[in-house]
Amino acid sequence: MTNPDSSTPRVEFLVLDVLGTLVDQPSGVTRALQDAFDLGPATAREASRRWFHEIEVAQREVVEGDRPFVPQTILDHEAVRAVGGWLGKDLDESSTARLVDDLSRLSAWPDSADGLSRLAAGFGTIGLSNAGPGALLGLSVANGLRWHQLLSSEHAETYKPDPAVYELAVRTSGRPAASCLMVAAHAWDLRAAARVGMRTAYVRRPVGDPPAPEDRFDLIASDLHDLLGRLRDDRSVDAHG
């Protein structure tokens, strides 16, 4: 980790992304679409790609002020209808609702539950995600993810990478932004957190957004256990576990 000067606060809180960083969202979305629309593997992967594209565009429109904020579950319904239109396989209301629910039934990475528990022994842990509050709670219960606080971008009525989402986590911590370490498998997420003064840790995942050559994050780790070891080794961090 880049050693801060003596005026920089120590890291006390870890703010962790959830989708992609702690759970395997792409596989879960692909599987849900494949089952709901009765698709072959290749078509399911393309349907998943289109679903993610629809979500990304809709969230960006909210962040840029081109449409009013709507909860993630509404964006999920819109994306499902768009994918169904591409496939020529429209679902009825009840089937669409079941699929949207299934889209949030995601499996955690093998290190996530134990790694998060170990991190929480030394730091405050805050989950921060574009997923809705209900989906986040369900994911946490299903996968044994234990938090000190769990925040949805819905609480800020916008989506990451809007600065307001990261500022929400900083306010929740009650500490300066530099005391908060954003942990994510997505370089775009970390860049946005850095712009509000948070420190950053990139965790490698097969489905993440890897750093560009010019990115300079405070830490890079292979998983949450590796992250804990690196935090313990760094004198700029205030670990108690």
Integer Cα distance of 38 and 8 in angstroms: 54
Q: Count the residues in the chain.
A: 241
- Looking at the DSSP assignment, which residues form a beta bridge with residue 15? 126, 182
Using 50 as the pLDDT threshold, list the residues of the chain that sit under it: 1-4, 238-241
Does the domain at 25-102 match CATH 1.10.150? Answer given as: yes
Residue 241: per-residue pLDDT: 36
Q: Which helix (H) or strand (E) holds 156?
A: none
13-24+106-233 CATH choice from 3.40.50.1000, 3.65.10.10, 3.10.180.10, 3.40.50.300: 3.40.50.1000
Q: Is 174 exposed, middle or buried (0-12, 13-18, 19+ CB in 10 A)?
A: exposed
Decide: 48 and 28 in contact? Cβ < 8 Å.
Answer: no
Q: Where along the chain do its domains lie?
A: 13-24+106-233, 25-102
Query: Fold identical between 13-24+106-233 and 25-102?
Result: no
Residue 131: per-residue pLDDT: 96
Q: Which helix (H) or strand (E) holds 169?
A: helix 163-173
- Looking at the DSSP assignment, which residues form a beta bridge with residue 182? 15, 200
Supply the DSSP symbol for 108.
Answer: B
Q: Give per-residue pLDDT as tens, 122-159.
A: 999 999 999 999 999 999 999 999 999 999 999 999 99
